[in-house]
Amino acid sequence: MAAVSAKAFKKIDSAPLWDRVRSQIKHALLAGRFEPGETLTLRSLAEMFGTSVTPVRDAVNHLVAQGVLEAGPRNAAVVPDVATGTLREIMCVRTELEGRAAREAAYRSNLETVSSLRLQLETMRDLIHKRRLDSYLDVHRNFHFTVYSGAEIPLLYEMIENLWLRTGPILAYVIPDYVISLKGTDHHEKIVAAIEAGDGTTAEAEVVADIEEATNYLLTCSDDLGRIRRPLKTPL
Amino acid sequence: MAAVSAKAFKKIDSAPLWDRVRSQIKHALLAGRFEPGETLTLRSLAEMFGTSVTPVRDAVNHLVAQGVLEAGPRNAAVVPDVATGTLREIMCVRTELEGRAAREAAYRSNLETVSSLRLQLETMRDLIHKRRLDSYLDVHRNFHFTVYSGAEIPLLYEMIENLWLRTGPILAYVIPDYVISLKGTDHHEKIVAAIEAGDGTTAEAEVVADIEEATNYLLTCSDDLGRIRRPLKTPL
DNA sequence: CTTTGTTGTTTGTTATAACAAGCATGATAT
DNA sequence: ATATCATGCTTGTTATAACAAACAACAAAG
């Protein structure tokens, strides 16, 4: 061990360039910083990141393989324009996967998971009261994935994460309105209660209801072509 | 339109090199031509295909992103060594997804799908009688995916295909024995009947039973480390 | 005015070389 | 004999340049 304190140095990020590029694109997607339908060119992305085209090519390739980006004509990467049809498909698969995950989580119910969920529930209530919607979305996301992590089935977790990524581009600018419009029908509390009680059936039902409710709201935001669009009133 | 007949020319395969490479690796995986746990080096693959490393790099990257190959140390691509734990996870997700797909297919039951299924059922019976196990596996695969295609939910289909790909390396050299050991408990017929009758519940149940039965057989093939291994009696 | 052909630009694809991290081999010192 | 370090090889990563296909703009012919 070196004599100097390890705390004096920042950890060097030795991850490959293309992996860091991939991570940044992913987060930009999740934050809704790309327009649905927009085609991303390798050279423009490369210039943004200050790298050559090789790492961006790898990153884009990876995301396309995951279904997070789509392969347009000429194999160009395009930001998925999630239409109502696609949204219904995603909802279908999500209800199956996340429902099962919640059920398994209830069967494997433990104190650590439940207390973590309760804490996040509290934070969510607080953030929604303070109208801090962006942080709310982060905690909300963490809440759900804490549940799915409780299933202790990595493959399930991985596939659910993939599905959330696919709705990323539209979620970011539609959900805030949905959160505000939420009255008292909050399934999150019931989910935690069911998991604590080890009641898999109820946990599954509540998660499914939560997904269907949110999806149905999204479906009302579609234009006459079936595409989900940013509500006009929201600035930026 | 040109004066000469279009039929005089074969369509030129203009797919990108890396896509053709990916396809070949995929099929090799499905055929069990790679040993589980084997690490594939870019340069050796490149030499096999007679290309530079760039296309293989893209292909491998794509497959890793899909979960078909794993990223080992130094980001090297390794053929997944599916252990019992992983297999159980895959079975869990498969029952959810393929069960749902079968149910939806039953609801959308149509004559074309059913007659196609019946034809494949007949072919399977014939092939199993003639002990043509390799072709049997192909038809068997087609049979299942005809069912899932009947659900008319592309996303579901895509994710199911992904799961089959993950079991590829071990399926190829274990299933033949399983097929032979099959006595009369053939769920395939019941699946077709249920779909024809529009009975979603039964279709789902039979598909789930089929998956669980096959998986349970595979689980019996594991060694004491939990890894699925090729039965010794099978040559090559 | 419409259609056809040309040209130039944009953009994904591929090969190649230089690079760096890891790993094995073997020599050397204690 | 064991531990340690140097060396060379293997292998994924990145930059760069040449390439080819698609698209747009524009000119010329009907």
Q: Which helix (H) or strand (E) holds B5?
A: none
Q: How far is CA B97 from the centre of its chain?
A: 14
Cα dihedral: B161, B167, B170, B174 (round 10): -70
Given a cut of 50, whether residue A122 has pLDDT beyond it is yes
Q: Name the more confident of B175 and B51.
A: B51
At residue B4, the pLDDT reads: 45
* Average pLDDT, rounded, for chain A: 87
**Residue A133 in tokens:** 């919607």
Distance CA B13, CA A50 (A): 35
A135 CB closer than 7 A to any strand D atom: no
- Assigned domain for B11 exists: no
Distance CA B39, CA B6 (A): 45
Same domain, B50 and B99: no
DSSP 8-class letter at B6: G
A178-182, A208-212, A219-223, B52-56: least confident range = A178-182
Distance CA B218, CA B137 (A): 15
Q: Which helix (H) or strand (E) holds A41?
A: none
| CA dihedral for B189, B192, B196, B198, sign (positive or negative) | positive
Same domain, B65 and B99: no
Residue position matching structure tokens 């234009």: A223
User: Which residues does chain B have within 8 Å of residue A75's beta carbon, measured at their own beta carbons?
Assistant: 16
A193 CB closer than 7 A to any strand C atom: no
Q: Which domain holds residue A147?
A: 84-220
Residue position matching structure tokens 């607080």: A126
Same domain, A111 and A164: yes
* Average pLDDT, rounded, for chain B: 87
Closest partner residue to B65 among A66, A89, A156, by Cβ? A66
At residue A214, the pLDDT reads: 87
Total of domains in chain A: 2
The whole-number Å distance from A2's CA to D5's C1' is: 19
Closest partner residue to A61 among B62, B86, B90, by Cβ? B62
Distance CA A53, CA A51 (A): 7
- Assigned domain for B180 exists: yes
At residue A235, the pLDDT reads: 46
- Assigned domain for B51 exists: yes
Same domain, B128 and B149: yes
Same domain, A43 and A70: yes
Among B78, B96, B127, the domain boundary falls at B78
Mean pLDDT of A194-200: 94
pLDDT tens digits, A60-73: 999 999 999 999 99
In terms of phi and psi (left: phi > 0; alpha: psi -120 to 50; beta: otherwise), the region of B37 is left
Best to test chain A binding among B155, B158, B162 (most A CBs inside 10 Å): B155
Same domain, B70 and B89: no
Residues 27-56 of A with CB under 7 A from strand C: 39-44, 53-54
Among A78, A100, A124, the domain boundary falls at A78
A40-44, A172-176, B92-96: least confident range = A172-176
Distance CA A102, CA A204 (A): 5
Same domain, A64 and A130: no
For chain A, give the percent of residues with pLDDT over 90: 61
A74 CB closer than 7 A to any strand C atom: yes
At residue A31, the pLDDT reads: 84
CATH number, position B110: 1.20.120.530
Chain C bases having any atom below 7 Å from a protein CB: 10-17, 21-23
Same domain, B114 and B210: yes
In sequence order, what are the residues at sequence separation of 6 or more whose Cβ sits closer than 8 angstroms to the Cβ of residue A57?
A: A18, A42, B58
Which of B62-99 are b and which e, b meaning 16 or more Cβ less than 10 Å from the residue's Cβ? bbbbbbbbbeeeeeebbbbbbbbebbebbbbbbbbbbb
The whole-number Å distance from B56's CA to D23's C1' is: 29
pLDDT tens digits, A126-159: 888 888 877 888 888 999 999 999 999 999 999 9
Q: Which residues pair with A77 in a beta bridge?
A: A40, A71
Residues 31-90 of B with CB under 7 A from strand C: 51-55, 58, 73-74
The overall pTM is greater than 0.85: yes
B64/A62 Cβ within 8 A:
yes
Query: First and final CA of chain A: distance in angstroms?
Result: 51
Same domain, A100 and A119: yes
Same domain, B119 and B212: yes
- Assigned domain for B234 exists: no
- Assigned domain for B151 exists: yes
Given a cut of 50, whether residue B236 has pLDDT beyond it is no
Length reported for chain B? 236
At residue B92, the pLDDT reads: 96
Same domain, B97 and B204: yes
The whole-number Å distance from A111's CA to C18's C1' is: 54
B64/A89 Cβ within 8 A:
no
Q: Residue B171 corresponds to which amino acid?
A: L
CATH number, position A27: 1.10.10.10
DSSP 8-class letter at B201: H
User: Which residues does chain A have within 8 Å of residue B58's beta carbon, measured at their own beta carbons?
Assistant: 57-58, 61
CB B170 within 8 A of CB B37: no
At residue B190, the pLDDT reads: 94
Distance CA B214, CA B207 (A): 11
Given a cut of 50, whether residue A5 has pLDDT beyond it is no
Given a cut of 80, whether residue B55 has pLDDT beyond it is yes
Among B78, B99, B128, the domain boundary falls at B78
Number of continuous H segments (helices) and E segments (strands) in chain A: 10, 3
The whole-number Å distance from A36's CA to D27's C1' is: 37
Mean pLDDT of B203-207: 96
- Closest amino acid to nucleotide C23 (CA–C1'): B74
- Assigned domain for A3 exists: no
pLDDT tens digits, B126-172: 888 888 877 888 898 999 999 999 999 999 999 999 999 998 878 87
Same domain, B66 and B108: no
Which of A188-210 are b and which e, b meaning 16 or more Cβ less than 10 Å from the residue's Cβ? bebbbbbbbeebbebbbbbbbbb
B175 pLDDT band (50/70/90 cuts)? Answer: confident
A214-228, B57-71, B205-219: least confident range = A214-228
Query: Which candidate, B120, B205, B219, places its Cα nearest to that of B170?
Result: B219
- Assigned domain for B2 exists: no
Given a cut of 70, whether residue A15 has pLDDT beyond it is yes
CA distances to A105, A181, B189 from B94, rounded to whole Å, are 18, 36, 20
